[in-house]
Each structure stands twice: as C-alpha cells, then as structure tokens.
Structure 1
Amino acid sequence: MSQPAFGHVGSYRPGDTFRDRLTLAASGVHRPRRAGVCGTQQLGAESIVLAGQYEDDEFGEEEIRYAGNGGRDPKTGRQITDQVASGANLALLKSAETGRPVRVLRKVPAEDGGPDVYRYEGLYRVVGSSYGPGKSGFRVYVFRLRPFDF
C-alpha cells in the first residue's frame, strides 16, 4: 500500500482523465479500485470520486455536496438505511478538522463519445458537513467541499 498523499500526485493536474478505475488506482491519484473515498479516520480523506452513485451528490462550480458512504442497496443502488459514522465518513469528518486538501475526481462522458472517463477536478477542502434526511428520507452525511485556495 502506498503512503498517504495529500495534494497533487506526481505530474497529474486538473483536467487530466483516466479511462477506468484500474488506471486511476495505478496512477495513485485515487488508489481504491471501487471505494469512493481514499483515506483514514486518523489522517482524513486523500481523494474522492463522484461517480453518480448517490442521489444526494451535487457538483456545482463553487461547491460540491458529496453524500457520505453507506446505507445503499448493493443491487439497486438506492438508499435503504441511515448512514453511520464509520470508515469513509469519519475520514471526511477528519478532513473538515485538518483542512488538508482532498483530490476530487468525477465520472464524466468521454470527449470522443466513448465510455465514460474519470476526470481530475482538482484540490478541494471539506468546509462543513450535515447529517439528516436525504432525498430518500434516510439520514445521510453530506459533506460540503470548495476549491482549495492556496
């Protein structure tokens, strides 16, 4: 396992694209092949991926609202229970405390019309969070991220 890295990795910069999760993991920009959050509750989140999996995610120009992890049905992808304070959610809560940069990646359509790709959006800071009813009625964590201001 690679060492935690906060900030840009290697020569990768915003706008760079990756054809799939394996390529993304190999680059080190987002190491987990499936999980949407890379990080630990001790150090915080290094990177996140918005892949259209959670109905409460919103990607805006000035702010991202990133739904926490858990509570989804593995077959349908629908929220079926409340999320809990564990794993990835604790990593994102820690990031709000530390102020360390979080790399943000987003699944987007490929420019050539091929399969979707993962685009590196840049460095963001977790500026706050809430825990309450999401669109499904179940309680979810929603993390607010804004572009990192150096």
Structure 2
Amino acid sequence: MLDVVLNQTNHNNYEFEFPSEAVRVARQVFDYFESEKWGKVAEAEVGDSAGESTSEDTLLSPTKRKRQSIPASSTAGAEGKLVRAAPRNHPIYGTNGIMHDILRPDNPVSYKLAIPKNLRPSYNNFGHNGLTVGQWWPLQVCLIRDGAHGSSQGGIYGTQDMGAMSIIVSGAFKHLDEDRGHVLFYSGSNSHSNRDPRNPNITKATESMRKSHRLHKDIRLFRSSGSGWGGAPVCGLRYDGLYRITNESTKLNAHGGAYIRFRLERQGNQDPIDRSRPNAQERKEYELVKHGY
C-alpha cells in the first residue's frame, strides 16, 4: 500500500493521486521500515528506561516476563514468524478497541506496538500530557502507545537530566512501598536486592526520582490492581493524576540493605481519583484481551 501512496507502483498504467499529508505520512513510515530492513528479525535487545526496563516497544506477557525482546520495527513474532495485524473491526484489537495498534502473536510471548515511535504521542513530557484522570488501560504496553509512560516493564520512567515523568504502582514490593491513595511511599528501583546497610543502590531510575524531587516536578501516577490500596483498579492500569515527591529517606530492606524511599502526595486542582474505573464494560473487555484475534 505504501508503494501506491508514494507512486512507486503503476497499476494498469494509472498513477494514483493522494493528498499531500497522506504522502508525507506514508514517506515517514516507508523510510522508517526501509531503514529497519522491512521486517528483518533483529537480535533480541535489552533496553533501558531509567535503567530498569526492557525495550520500550515490547511488553512480555504476564506468564513469561523474560528480559529480552524484539524491537517493534520488526514484524516478526517470538519465533521469527510474521505477525498479522488484527482486523480493523475487531472489538478488542481493531481500530476502536482497547488494544488498537498492538500486535499479538498466535502463541504470544509478547505484545508489540504496530506503529513506529515517531508516529506515536511522546511520553517525554511532564504533567497530564493529554491524559484524563481515570483513564484506563488493560496492559502496560498501551501506556507507551498513548504517550503515558515510557517503559514497557519498569515502574519508573524518566531521565537523570530531566527527572521522573511517570511511575506505576504495582504492589510488586509491598514490603517496601505503601499506597494510601493520596499519599504514597515508593521505593527506588532494585531496592529489594541490596545487602549493603550503608550504601543504597542508586540506579538511573532512582536518580530520575531525585531529580524530580529537587525540581518540584509533578509525576504522572498509574495504579494497577496490586497496589495494595482499597481504591485501586480491579484490573489493568488506571491514571490517578499528578503526584509530587515531598520527602526522601533511607530505609533498610529485609536483607538489612539500605534503600531510598520517596514520599509522594497527590496534587490539588485536578479531578478526584475515579474509583469507578474500570467499569463493567472495560472489565469484560479486559478478559477478552488474552484471547487475541
């Protein structure tokens, strides 16, 4: 189809004409995939969003969360097979579905974004970034697609220079974190594994949190069902608004190792947390995600 839009193919000696904007977008997509050798299976890579996630464009399924991925520019699945896109009218993976623009292999090990990074909303911004409090997604890869969070597996996204822009409260480290709704105690990455009682493990992700603290930056907060707070979503991930770090302290983990813990408070002048999300329809659709297309 790109060949046709870019007038590279002549069908029955008739040259198709498309609007200039369509040609411009087609050229971007063509150049992107041309540079990536059009579906050549790349070597598995380990990416780094603030030092703790895999490639931003691949989210491993909950049953096989290995730290390896194939970049989204590839159209190949985990076994090197081409991954077909969902029908446009599919209720879950189609144009209007909650999993739109996401590819799912027939025997999934991972979900993959179908559109290149330069054609997606940017997550490298502070503030709401176009999101609505209460907005809900079934999987973390959807956050990347919509410019909400920039890491496919990491709970912290940001840079050491700019600061942390978003975090996910998952409840994975309930012995370190504490979610009270409007107040959150959140540990830096790799806090559970350190055994040094004097020197916390300061990762890039933790540094980005410190940077946001120093600059008084608001951080987007997403909650999952396991956060430990009674008002958390029953499934998927929900945007609960902007929080700001008010304090940083050093604590000891179960091994006696030091770690950094941040205290965050929800900011005023924004809509209240929408505890009704996901609604009944969203919960129903969430159950259908695993069936693919």
Normalising by the smaller structure, the TM-score range is 0.7 to 0.9
In the alignment, which residue of structure 2 is the partner of 1:66? Answer: 186
TM-score by length of 1: 0.82
How far residue 44 of structure 1 moved from its aligned partner, in angstroms, is 0.6
Alignment of 1:1-150 (within 5 A): 2=122, 4-10=124-130, 12-54=131-173, 55-72=175-192, 79=193, 81-82=195-196, 83-108=200-225, 116-150=235-269
- Kindly indicate whether the alpha-carbon contact (under 8 Å) linking 2:123 and 2:149 is maintained by their aligned counterparts in 1: no
SS of the residue 1:88 aligns to: helix
The structure, 1 or 2, with the larger RCO (C-alpha pairs under 8 Å, 6+ apart) is 1
State how far apart, in whole Å, the 2-side matches of 1:24 and 1:62 are. Answer: 22
State how far apart, in whole Å, the 2-side matches of 1:38 and 1:62 are. Answer: 20
State how far apart, in whole Å, the 2-side matches of 1:41 and 1:20 are. Answer: 26
Gaps of 5+ in 1: 73-78, 110-114
- Kindly indicate whether the alpha-carbon contact (under 8 Å) linking 2:160 and 2:205 is maintained by their aligned counterparts in 1: yes
SS of the residue 2:190 aligns to: coil
What is the aligned length? 138
Gaps of 5+ in 2: 1-116, 227-233, 270-293
State how far apart, in whole Å, the 1-side matches of 2:160 and 2:222 are. Answer: 20
Runs of 4+ in 1 over 3 A off after TM superposition: 79-83
Aligned-partner residue type, residue 157 of structure 2: C
CA RMSD of the aligned region, Å? 2.0
TM-score by length of 2: 0.44
State how far apart, in whole Å, the 2-side matches of 1:16 and 1:51 are. Answer: 17
Which structure is higher in strand share? Answer: 1
State how far apart, in whole Å, the 2-side matches of 1:3 and 1:92 are. Answer: 16
Which structure is higher in helix share? Answer: 2
- Kindly indicate whether the alpha-carbon contact (under 8 Å) linking 2:124 and 2:150 is maintained by their aligned counterparts in 1: no
Pick the structure with greater CA Rg: 2
How far residue 70 of structure 1 moved from its aligned partner, in angstroms, is 1.1
How far residue 132 of structure 1 moved from its aligned partner, in angstroms, is 2.3
State how far apart, in whole Å, the 2-side matches of 1:133 and 1:5 are. Answer: 33
Aligned-partner residue type, residue 128 of structure 2: H
- Kindly indicate whether the alpha-carbon contact (under 8 Å) linking 1:71 and 1:81 is maintained by their aligned counterparts in 2: no
State how far apart, in whole Å, the 2-side matches of 1:130 and 1:140 are. Answer: 8
Deviations 1:92-113 (A, max 9, x none): 011110011100011127xxxx
In the alignment, which residue of structure 1 is the partner of 2:112? Answer: none
